[in-house]
Structure 1
Amino acid sequence: MRTHIKHDQEADAAYIDLAPVIKSGEAVEQVIVARPPKGEVILDFDENGFLLGVEIIGAIDLLRPAALAETA
């Protein structure tokens, strides 16, 4: 499985794709893991319970610099 990290520096949010393509509306359940005061991690699941991707709010504080460097 290949993953890809996208980082929006202005919003300080990153998204890690775990599915090759995520269609609009395919993520039907989100599980939020709060990591105060740094941010939160949001897990996106499809209707069958498969993990599609991971959104990271506060990416600069929650991801290692090397992971963010790969997004450039």
Structure 2
Amino acid sequence: MKVTYDAVADAAYIYLVDEIGVGGVAKTHACDPGEVGGVVNLDLDDSGRLIGVEVLGASRLLPPESLVQQP
């Protein structure tokens, strides 16, 4: 699992697979912001498996140690 973080956008992406190639996301499911307390999108592959999670407003929703910016 890998987490990338963009401080300017305050957005994190949690990779649940080693790499997501071009066209690797077949469907994105938006979670209800009221239920999760922010904007969270679940990315699924063409088999319906969860491969990544996008978190907007990540500094409010994720532990600080997971928000290390990648070079």
TM-score range (shorter-chain normalised) is: 0.7 to 0.9
Cα deviation for residue 42 of structure 1 reads 0.5
Q: Which residue of 2 aligns with 1:23?
A: 21
Structure having the higher strand fraction is 1
Q: Aligned partners of 1:7 and 1:34: how far apart in 2?
A: 22
Q: Which residue of 2 aligns with 1:59?
A: 58
Percentage of identical aligned residues: 39
Local SS of the residue matching 1:22: coil
Q: Which residue of 2 aligns with 1:35?
A: 33
Q: Aligned partners of 2:62 and 2:33: how far apart in 1?
A: 12
Structure 1 stretches lacking a partner, 5+ long: none
Output the TM-score relative to the length of structure 2. 0.83
Segments ≥4 residues shifted beyond 4 Å: none
* RMSD (CA atoms): 1.4
Q: Aligned partners of 1:58 and 1:34: how far apart in 2?
A: 14
Between the two proteins, the alignment pairs up a number of residues equal to 67
Output the TM-score relative to the length of structure 1. 0.82
Q: Aligned partners of 1:10 and 1:56: how far apart in 2?
A: 13
The residue type equivalent to 2:3 in the other structure is I
